[in-house]
Amino acid sequence: DGGITQSPKYLFRKEGQNVTLSCEQNLNHDAMYWYRQDPGQGLRLIYYSQIVNDFQKGDIAEGYSVSREKKESFPLTVTSAQKNPTAFYLCASSISGLKSEQYFGPGTRLTVT
Amino acid sequence: GENVEQHPSTLSVQEGDSAVIKCTYSDSASNYFPWYKQELGKRPQLIIDIRSNVGEKKDQRIAVTLNKTAKHFSLHITETQPEDSAVYFCAASKGGGSQGNLIFGKGTKLSVKP
Tell me the per-residue pLDDT of A17-38, one tens digit each, with 9 for 90 and over: 999 999 999 999 999 999 999 9
Q: Would you say the C-alpha torsion A80, A86, A87, A89 has a positive or negative sign?
A: positive
pLDDT at residue A99, as a whole number: 57
B66-B67-B70 Cα angle (round to 5): 140
Contact B48, B57 (CB under 8 A): yes
**Contact flag B98-A50 (C-beta cutoff 8 Å):** yes
Q: Are strands A76-78 and A64-66 parallel, antiparallel or unpaired?
A: antiparallel
Nearest-Cα distance to chain B for A20, in Å, is 20
CB within 8 Å: B95 and A100:
yes
Q: What is the pLDDT of residues A48-97, one digit of tens each?
A: 998 999 999 998 999 999 999 999 999 999 999 899 999 999 999 988 75
For A34, name the nearest residue in chain B, comparing CA atoms only: B101
**What pLDDT, on the 0 to 100 scale, is given for residue B88?**
98
**pLDDT value for A41:** 81
B7 near A CB under 8 A: no
Least confident residue range of A20-29, A88-97, B28-37, B81-90: A88-97
Task: Catalogue the E-assigned strands of chain A.
Answer: 4-7, 10-13, 19-25, 31-38, 42-51, 54-57, 64-66, 76-78, 87-94, 103-104, 108-112
Residue A6: the pLDDT is: 96
By the CB < 8 Å criterion, does B95 face chain A?
Answer: yes
Q: Which residues of B touch A1 (CB under 8 A)?
A: 43
Angstroms from B14 CA to nearest CA on chain A = 23
What residues in chain A have their Cβ under 8 A from chain B's Cβ atoms?
Answer: 1, 31, 33, 40-45, 48, 50, 56, 58, 90, 94, 96-107
